[in-house]
Homo-oligomer: A and B are copies of this chain.
């Protein structure tokens, strides 16, 4: 009976520090997520310096964040029965997330997914995802009873990159309990471009709680400025959280708009997971019935913690940080 069920790609992050020249030499767009195949993953990994491996995946990071605030969360995603698959399962369940992770047999040709992440000196991160078995979440992996037990079902837009996972999400949507809310993140501006028509339809028809950053929301509404995008957001039904890095975030419900400042950060070490953890704070806030500005503040608080260190899972208790900040 989790407050929040998140569904997304189960990915082990492989992080290293690289400079801008590395990105240029490998045709990588800074700050974006590139979907790569096995051969490209091997080639990029070969070029990278020594890395650290840490469990990631946007929706799973969000689930870990909800738990760190004191909420309950479950995650649905897929790994293979291999070393990284077991690491992934361990890290999430030991973080207190109820794991619903189907494990493909060890001899499946697709390994546990990896995301090669180059962190540049400005703290920005550039993602290169080899989905592997993560892309094989199928309708058979979705247990309607688990979905129906959640008050909020949160799905990452990245899942639209595979037809099979799309079907799984549609099944999850159909299984959502009456009164439960469907939350969705646009994930990445290129992801918005890839699935533009479907995302527009989802945003208008199905999504109760929308998460987007500045680049994603302007692409979704095909407008030039943040303000124009917010104008469009004000006309959508439901709740929208739109983040704008160090400028803070805006939360809108049925035309009501609240701007919330970013939480101060001493030094941005690694932006990986900022959006995921913002969503964690906001979803946790919604799950306890907090008002929208408070939800946005919880999101900002969690995002600030995550960008102050390497890796996209909280290293300290978000509950304690929230208490210290006088947040619920």
Chain B residues, Cβ within 8 Å of A94: 46, 48-50
Residue contacts A-B, CB under 8 angstroms, 18 given: A17-B315, A45-B90, A46-B94, A48-B94, A49-B94, A50-B55, A50-B64, A50-B91, A50-B92, A50-B94, A50-B95, A51-B90, A52-B53, A52-B54, A53-B87, A83-B83, A83-B84, A83-B112
Closest 10 CB pairs of A and B: A53-B53, A50-B91, A83-B83, A52-B54, A50-B95, A49-B94, A83-B84, A52-B52, A50-B94, A82-B83
Q: B87 to A46, Cβ gap below 8 A? A: no
Which of A14, A49, A53 neighbours the largest number of chain B CB atoms within 10 Å of its CB?
A: A53
Q: Which of A77-104 contact B (CB under 8 A)?
A: 82-84, 87, 90-92, 94-95
State whether the Cβ of A111 lies closer than 8 Å to any Cβ in chain B: yes
Output the nearest chain B residue to A16 by Cβ-Cβ distance: B94
**Taking the nearest CB of chain B, how far is it from the CB of A321, in angstroms?**
16
State whether the Cβ of A136 lies closer than 8 Å to any Cβ in chain B: no
Copy total for this chain = 2
Chain B residues, Cβ within 8 Å of A55: 50
A264 to B297: give the CA distance in the assembly, Å: 39
Output the nearest chain B residue to A48 by Cβ-Cβ distance: B94
Indicate whether A53 sits within 8 Å of B50 (C-beta atoms), given known contacts A17-B315, A45-B90. no
Which of A50, A84, A313 neighbours the largest number of chain B CB atoms within 10 Å of its CB?
A: A50
**Taking the nearest CB of chain B, how far is it from the CB of A315, in angstroms?**
7
State whether the Cβ of A57 lies closer than 8 Å to any Cβ in chain B: no
Indicate whether A51 sits within 8 Å of B91 (C-beta atoms), given known contacts A17-B315, A315-B17. yes
**Chain A positions 12 through 30: 1 when the CB is less than 8 Å from some CB of chain B, otherwise 0:** 0010010000000000000
Indicate whether A111 sits within 8 Å of B90 (C-beta atoms), given known contacts A54-B53, A55-B50. no
**Taking the nearest CB of chain B, how far is it from the CB of A317, in angstroms?**
11
